[in-house]
Amino acid sequence: MANVFCHLPKKFVDNTTVDDYGYPIYRCKDDGRTIKKFYVNLDNRYVVPHNMMLLLKYGTHINVEWYNQSRSIKYVNKGCDRVTASFYRSATAHSKSNDCDEVNMYYDCQYISPYEAAWRVFGYNMYYRDPSVIRLGFHLPDEQPVIFKDNKCLDDIARKASVKESMFLGWIESNKTNAKVRYLTYVGFPSKFVWKPDPKKWFLRKSNSVIGSIFHVLPGSGKIYYLRLLLIFVKGPTCYKDIRTINGVVYSSFRDLYYAMGLLDDDKEYIDAIEETSHWGSGE
């Protein structure tokens, strides 16, 4: 028998050591002693790290491990847990009606641990980021996202002029009307300009240091994935056609241009995608 979760049985070792990954390998001597459980003889290889005082005090099974890395305790400091709780009426409750409002009887609760509660009581900042990061949206031609209320008429929404505006199109329009800003990529544009959602235009930034970050797209997303890759390099396009143009040659697709730039000749594309994901998707 072997416990997959605890990786049992362990190996017999005479001394406690630390492996290449920083995890301890505890001493496990072959002293010949065994105990039979469910007709199976178990020796020291099946003993997990424990503390006898804790076992006797709480009367339950508690594993005790030595840690030397921050990732070993990330679940202690990982932030808020969320609890889903539902309330229901007991069958013995006296009521004239059997109707039950399930919406009002359902709650989405949030658990706050003691250390976070104390942090909030003293009014400390819950998060802080310097410099600020601006998330940059982008889209294919005529595929800009539109936000509207579900009770609005789609025909009326489609006729609005604001439907044809977006942060990404505002950057292209800025390049068209101001030749002095064409030296900036889309990622670098927020460092000099600020996006105002109400007029839906970019304005010259007067203060604060800001970094632009383009939304992540999966490699299997097709055209929009290659558009995102090109936006890291392309400067000052005045239309989508300019993004597909290099050295005066207009390519039929973003992918063809990416090939022409020599960026798909090796595994660099996949290596860059993995490294980028490791920065924003890491649990550390």
The dihedral built from the CA positions of residue 116, 122, 124 and 126, taken in this order, carries a sign that is: positive
Residues 36 and 142 in one domain: no
**Phi and psi torsions of 194, nearest 5°:** -120, 140
Q: In the prediction, which pLDDT does 71 show?
A: 52
More confident position, 194 or 91: 194
Domain shared by 144 and 26, yes or no: no
Do 142 and 25 share a structural domain?
Answer: no
Residue 61 lies in a domain: yes
173 and 50, same structural domain?
no
| Window from 60-74, 111-125, 152-166, 255-269 with minimum mean pLDDT | 60-74
Flag whether 200 is in a domain.
Answer: yes
Instruction: Decide which of 73, 88, 117 is a domain's last residue.
Output: 73
Q: What is the pTM for the complete model shown?
A: 0.52
Residue 154 lies in a domain: yes
Looking at the structure, do residues 31 and 143 belong to the same domain, yes or no?
A: no
Report pLDDT digits (tens) over 25-58: 888 888 888 888 888 888 888 888 888 888 888 8
Whether 62 and 187 map to the same domain: the answer is: no
For residues 245 and 171, membership in a common domain is answered with: yes
Q: Which long-range contacts (CB under 8 A, 24 or more apart) does 61-69 make?
A: 63/6, 65/24, 66/24, 68/18, 68/22, 68/24, 69/22
Judged against a pLDDT cut of 90, whether residue 17 lies above it is answered with: no
H helix or E strand, kind and range, residue 214: strand 210-214
Distance CA 257, CA 227 (A): 10
Q: What is the pLDDT of residue 259?
A: 82
Residue 235 lies in a domain: yes
Of 52, 73, 94, the domain-final residue: 73
Give 147's pLDDT tier (boundaries 50, 70, 90).
Answer: confident
CA distance 49 to 44: 11
Query: CA-to-CA distance for 244 and 223, rounded, in angstroms?
Result: 12
Same domain, 52 and 140: no
User: Does residue 123 belong to any structural domain of this protein?
Assistant: no
Find residue 176's DSSP bridge partners: none
What pLDDT was estimated at residue 80? 57
Tell me which residue of 199, 260, 205 sits closest to 229, measured CA to CA. Answer: 260
144 & 268 share domain: yes
Give domain status of residue 209, yes or no.
yes
Tokens (6 digits) for 107: 């709650």
Determine the structural domain holding residue 251 and report its residue range.
133-276
Tell me the three state secondary structure of residue 111: strand
Task: State whether 160 and 42 are in the same domain.
Answer: no
Give per-residue pLDDT as tens, 56-113: 888 887 877 766 655 555 555 555 555 566 655 554 455 555 666 666 666 556 677 8
pLDDT at res. 2: 42
Given 49, 73, 97, the domain boundary residue is: 73
| 219-236 tens-digit pLDDT | 788 889 889 988 988 999
Residues 66 and 144 in one domain: no
Which of the 8 DSSP states describes residue 96? S
Sequence-separated (6 or more) residues with CB below 8 Å from residue 171? 186, 189, 202
User: Would you state the structure tokens that stand for residue 259, as one six-digit string?
Assistant: 């090939």
Whether residue 85 is contained in a domain is answered as no
pLDDT tens readout for residues 243-256: 999 888 899 888 88
Q: What percent of the chain has pLDDT over 90?
A: 13
Q: Are residues 41 and 152 in the same domain?
A: no
Q: How many domains does the chain have?
A: 2
Please indicate, yes or no, if residue 223 is contained in any of the structural domains: yes
